[in-house]
């Protein structure tokens, strides 16, 4: 079944505030904690979305999208496409609403994400990454029936993510910049829409890994681009093969700049959060901290959104155990300010 997308429109503050009321009993208001590093570093606060019931922010958008389904749509069931976190979010919300759910899932997704989706009652349809990415564009996949919930190009999904922006401003009104990872662009569009509506002077930065940075390339070229030589990495929750034109139009009014970090910088950020704050973050969740530490988003206060913590523990230990050069301390992460 193919779904024709609605025309692109701005996500209104009223949409986000309504979503907040709608999902209040499903999501957690996650803490915003200061990362203590010393005066030579930017002032950084971590928005801990890894503490959501599914250990990722996607529950915000999924809960809002499922709550707005009609009775007929609920009976038909829902399906989505995911590398793991969006699938968990939709499955969690669908189970709570007694709605059947299927997920076209990237077959290389971490085992922990696959197990969680199955535990939540989702039917999994594993496919290669490029097949999933194509299905996202086409909004259809053979054998996937019911109402399609797009994991980022969906007004209701984006409005749900915007609720995070309201929380950030309430707890840290002195914020100078917010950094969010970019996969499809739904997170940064939602958070950016909320913050720009209330405090347009706050800078919104997106971040991607060096192996998959179509948004940064699109910003450089001034139009949506495919990323040449895309490579899969442990940062499976961010960095797409291309920038969807519809999402590029959504992001342009609310994003001020795009940053790219190396995989080594991302590993170091994961290690730093574990050492200093006892936080387990997946690769995509560590990108914003890596970008903040680079100094390219200013001296702060910076809010780095830790978008998720769904990573196999063996893989996490393997990544953070990588030794830094003897000349570096555990928090000497290449600060450039």
Q: What's the confidence (pLDDT) of residue 20? A: 98
CATH class of this structure's domain 13-56+161-320: alpha beta
126-171 residue pLDDT tens: 999 889 988 988 898 988 889 999 999 999 999 999 999 999 999 9
Task: Work out whether strand 44-48 and strand 302-306 pair parallel, antiparallel, or are unpaired.
Answer: parallel
Q: Which of 271, 315, 322 is nearest to 109 (CA)?
A: 315
Which of 4-13, 50-59, 168-177, 246-255 has the least mean pLDDT?
Answer: 4-13
8 A C-beta contact, residue 214 and residue 241: yes
Fold of the CATH domain 59-148: Rossmann fold (3.40.50)
96-123 residue pLDDT tens: 999 999 999 998 888 888 999 999 999 9
- Segments making up each domain of the chain, as ranges: 13-56+161-320, 59-148
- 107 Ramachandran zone, left/alpha/beta (phi>0; psi -120 to 50): alpha
What pairs with residue 127 in β-bridges?
Answer: 106
267-294 residue pLDDT tens: 999 999 999 999 999 999 999 999 999 9
Any idea which residue has 């968990």 for tokens?
88
Q: What's the confidence (pLDDT) of residue 329? A: 44
The contacts of residue 267 (CB under 8 Å, 6+ apart) are 286, 319, 320, 322
192-208 residue pLDDT tens: 999 999 999 999 999 99
Query: What are the CA-CA distances from residue 136 to residues 82, 110, 153, 313, 327 (Å)?
Result: 9, 20, 9, 29, 45
Same fold, 13-56+161-320 and 59-148: yes
């Amino acid at each position: 079944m193919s779904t024709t997308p609605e025309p692109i429109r701005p996500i209104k503050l009223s949409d986000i505030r309504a979503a907040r009321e709608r999902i209040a009993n499903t999501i957690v208001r996650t803490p915003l904690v200061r990362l203590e590093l010393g005066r030579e570093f930017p002032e950084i606060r971590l928005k801990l979305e890894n503490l959501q019931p599914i250990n990722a922010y996607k529950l915000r958008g999924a809960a809002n999208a499922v709550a707005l389904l009609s009775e007929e749509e609920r009976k038909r069931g829902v399906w989505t496409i995911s590398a793991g976190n969006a699938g968990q979010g939709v499955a969690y919300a669908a189970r709570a609403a007694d709605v059947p759910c299927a997920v076209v899932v990237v077959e290389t997704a971490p085992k922990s994400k696959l197990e969680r989706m199955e535990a939540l009652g989702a039917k999994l349809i594993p496919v290669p990454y490029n097949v999933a990415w194509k299905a996202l564009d086409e909004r259809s996949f053979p054998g996937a029936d019911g109402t399609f919930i797009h994991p980022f190009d969906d007004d209701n999904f984006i409005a749900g993510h915007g609720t995070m922006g309201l929380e950030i401003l309430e707890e840290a009104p002195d914020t100078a910049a917010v950094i969010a990872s970019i996969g499809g662009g739904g997170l940064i569009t939602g958070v950016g829409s909320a913050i720009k509506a209330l405090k347009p002077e706050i800078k919104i930065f997106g971040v991607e890994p060096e192996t998959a940075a179509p948004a940064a390339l699109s910003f450089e070229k001034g139009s949506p681009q495919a990323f040449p030589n895309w490579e899969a990495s442990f940062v499976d929750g961010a960095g797409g093969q291309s920038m969807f034109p519809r999402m590029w139009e959504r992001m342009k009014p609310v994003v001020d700049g795009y940053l790219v970090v190396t995989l080594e910088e991302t590993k170091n950020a994961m290690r730093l959060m574990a050492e200093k704050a006892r936080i387990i973050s997946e690769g995509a969740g560590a990108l914003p901290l890596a970008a903040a530490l680079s100094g390219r988003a200013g001296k702060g206060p910076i809010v780095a959104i830790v978008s998720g913590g769904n990573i196999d523990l063996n893989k996490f230990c393997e990544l953070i155990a990588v030794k830094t050069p003897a000349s570096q301390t555990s928090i000497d992460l290449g600060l450039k300010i």
